[in-house]
Structure 1
């Protein structure tokens, strides 16, 4: 790909980070899948929290790159951590992976028949993040209720318990989480009958990462170096 006359061969994939060995492996597999799909593309996996290397350590080591946040909304990590890491470098940052129809389709494809659905997401005080999560919930069957695994707002177990009191017999959790980790594992103890797999387990997510990467070049044609991505 060529951005402003420069051949760009590096994709900096920025994940949140996790202490879970299984979650770390899943993120590595996602980055490897992206690299396999685009021969010659150097995919550098880094993080904004918990794990090393941090995005701030990777950015100075590359000259021509595009940053793709492996995050599900444009919250604090995108607006602050990643933005500060690329400040003054000219390296474009694409939209995060979510919300996107690909992620919605992944959850829908893994949902069994249920009387009620809980969309489980990581908590955040960022109003944009919460609005994105609410928007995803409205597009799940029956208008799913939102539950958070951290922060303020209704917790997933409490939402599940309320649905039981209302008469729901089969409750499914749609996990709006990219990889395995403490947050994802907590869902198995929330009292629901099923939990969808982490989103990065879906092969379509690797294509979504490349779509974000390619979007930077589309927008560069009219002078903008970021992409708004696909909205629901």
Structure 2
């Protein structure tokens, strides 16, 4: 989904990852593309036609149920989005029942985001670890989500590694830079100043003109004591 919202006025020590904004953007950006892929496969025919038709029907059901939950997320009603209501299932139910569909996977990603937004990084992490995405930017978003959870739990070394993996996995250059910034921030928080310094310099050199480069340059100025 994508970019993390980062305040340039804050130091790297102050900036904390916001998985909710970042991953939700990725989810919304790629949802239609993934659903289209399911439909395309369903049209392939052959010996798998019955299974594909079943998957298409399941995807349509999951997508419809997910569309009912989406407004709850927009309003910040994360607990209701997770558990659902007497009339409509929540993300936990949709994820469990339709996990093999595109919308089911999206439900899992949104479920993890909702747990994170509620301040439950341990629950969010458990969901993130069970998500598998073919799309590289979506897969990177999942890795970034695990990084955000580790950071929230003050496991900065693990967070740094997860964000580094997310940067390698992502195809979008802006995402690559942003995830590397988060990796460097967490290396700094873990006490690995030289590693953080190395990454900030790499971001400035490899992604000129990006938000990540601007944040990295600010971090380098702050680390050197200059402005």
TM-score (norm 1): 0.31
Normalized per residue, the structure richer in strand is 1
Higher relative contact order (CA 8 A, sep 6+): 1
Rg larger for: 2
Q: TM-score, normalised by structure 2?
A: 0.32
